[in-house]
Chains A and B, each alone.
Chain A
Amino acid sequence: MRIRIDGREFEAPEQCSVAAAILNTGAAGFAPLCGMGICMQCRATVDGAPLMQACQLPCREGMTVETR
């Protein structure tokens, strides 16, 4: 699956959450804490929608993610 994170294309495995995908890219300043929908530190703009909880959201083909 290909998704765009902060303007760059990445390959994400099946069943990968958006937060894990962002971590895999090593995006600067991204510091999610809990991985389970509690801390709200993972929020990102996904396909234009702001403040989405990235750890609760599976990646989908063609998704666009902004971490700030």
Chain B
Amino acid sequence: MNRVVVIGAGPAGLIAAACAAQGGRQVTLVDDNPEPGGQLWRGGGGGVARQKLEGVNVALLNGARVVAAHGNTLTVETRDRAIALHWDQLIVAAGARERFLPFPGWTLPGAMGAGAMQAFIKSGLDVRGKRIVVAGTGPILLAVAALAKDKGAEIAAICEQAPAWRVRRFAFHLSMAKILEAIHLKRKLRGVPLYYGTWVREAEGGERVRRVILSDGRAIDCDYAACGYGLVPNTELLRLLEGRENVHAVGECTGIGGYLKSAVEGAAAGYRVAGDDSQANKLRPVIEQARKFAVRLERTFAPRAELRSLPRDETVVCRCEGVAFGALRDLPNWRYAKLHTRCGMGPCQGRVCGPAVEFLFGWKPDSTRPPVLPARVDTLMGGSDA
């Protein structure tokens, strides 16, 4: 038997699943969102996601999260049942999440990630007439601001922490398509203040965000502060599967490189599991190209050192367990912090504070164990086979 399972129905996973199925494989595609599409085509992307699967035989499992992996079996949880999913070839396309860095006020209602703002708008958040500050780093800021403006929001400011010269140098190397995309976005955002080398130092307001203070001291009134510091790959599943054969990692979970990297890596893995190595090999040069872009992206938008001094002693770093910066500052490593302050031990399992403490203190993540996502007790008791 040659059962292919693909985890993640973002661009990488969708394309991988489609290519594998075209090659005659029996493919199951699992994703935890209600609709396929991943980050880019969240909510289905107006039908784009499902189009990728048209005419190919892929079993799509939506609203299904992979919570554990053991041997050649995945434990998958849906709203009402648990499934043991066997694989012979596994494609992990688990994507990336946003990096959040703590600053005073980041836990107030109205403060959220930049990608989060985009996701919420795509899933029904009404931003008409709202004043929004979009801040943090990366190309995503422009995309978020353009979407919000399009939906009737007033963008009070866009703050990119990377200095202007670095972003310009990055732009210089972009492909024509990407340059056109950027021009298109900028045109949409005409009249919106865009500050480079600037970041949100603090968010204020009693019950919810009312204004943000920028690094240059300026105060800007707003209803929402959308701050995201780039993306971090979702590597938990891969770490759980470490050392296993026939596991292919593709897309953002192997490094942040945008749509093209995810698409071509996905296609190559899809061909490969279908036994079509020659097609897969043809994609090598494009993949190389995409990976170079990923490196430039990372260099350009690396968070600056000043962001390490934003949190005050009382600023919460681990939101699940309510652990403040002051309690962590002088500790030797994450293992110690976990045990003695419970930082990272709450329901998000350090997905939010992990990248933050890595940036703030240089702490490396420690072991990964099942369940990689919260799971019902009966799921871990063993599900039915599929």
Specify the chain B residue showing the minimal Cβ separation from A13: B124
Q: Are B374 and A40 in contact (CB under 8 A)?
A: yes
13 contacts between A and B (CB under 8 A): A19-B120, A20-B120, A21-B124, A24-B126, A29-B109, A31-B109, A32-B112, A34-B112, A34-B113, A34-B115, A36-B42, A39-B351, A56-B63
Chain B 62-82 near chain A by CB (<8 Å), digits 1 or 0: 010000000000000000000
Q: How far is the CB of A21 from chain B (nearest CB, A)?
A: 6
Chain B 32-51 near chain A by CB (<8 Å), digits 1 or 0: 11100001001100000000
Q: Are B34 and A56 in contact (CB under 8 A)?
A: yes
A29-B319 Cα distance, complex, nearest whole Å: 13
Q: Are B124 and A12 in contact (CB under 8 A)?
A: yes
B residues sitting closer than 8 Å to A (CB atoms) are: 32-34, 39, 42-43, 63, 97-98, 100, 107-113, 115-120, 123-126, 207-208, 319-320, 346-348, 351-352, 374
Q: Are A15 and B123 in contact (CB under 8 A)?
A: yes
A residues sitting closer than 8 Å to B (CB atoms) are: 12-13, 15-17, 19-21, 23-24, 26, 28-41, 43, 51, 55-59
Q: Are B352 and A15 in contact (CB under 8 A)?
A: no
Q: How far is the CB of B48 from chain A (nearest CB, A)?
A: 15
Q: How many A-B residue pairs have CB under 8 A?
A: 101
**Which of A26, A29, A31, A55 meets B111, CB within 8 Å?**
A31
State the majority secondary structure of interface residues on A.
loop
Which A residues are in CB contact (< 8 Å) with B97?
34, 36, 38
Residue among B42, B119, B320 with the most chain A CB within 10 A?
Answer: B119
Residue among B63, B111, B207, B348 with the most chain A CB within 10 A?
Answer: B348
Specify the chain A residue showing the minimal Cβ separation from B226: A35
Which B residues are in CB contact (< 8 Å) with A28?
109, 207-208
A56-B42 Cα distance, complex, nearest whole Å: 11
Q: Are A40 and B124 in contact (CB under 8 A)?
A: no
A15-B348 Cα distance, complex, nearest whole Å: 25
Q: Are A55 and B124 in contact (CB under 8 A)?
A: no
**Additional A-B contacts beyond A23-B125, A24-B124, A39-B351 (12; CB < 8 A):** A32-B112, A33-B352, A35-B112, A35-B120, A35-B123, A36-B115, A38-B98, A38-B351, A51-B347, A56-B34, A56-B63, A59-B124
Which B residues are in CB contact (< 8 Å) with A21?
124
**Which of A16, A30, A51 meets B124, CB within 8 Å?**
A16
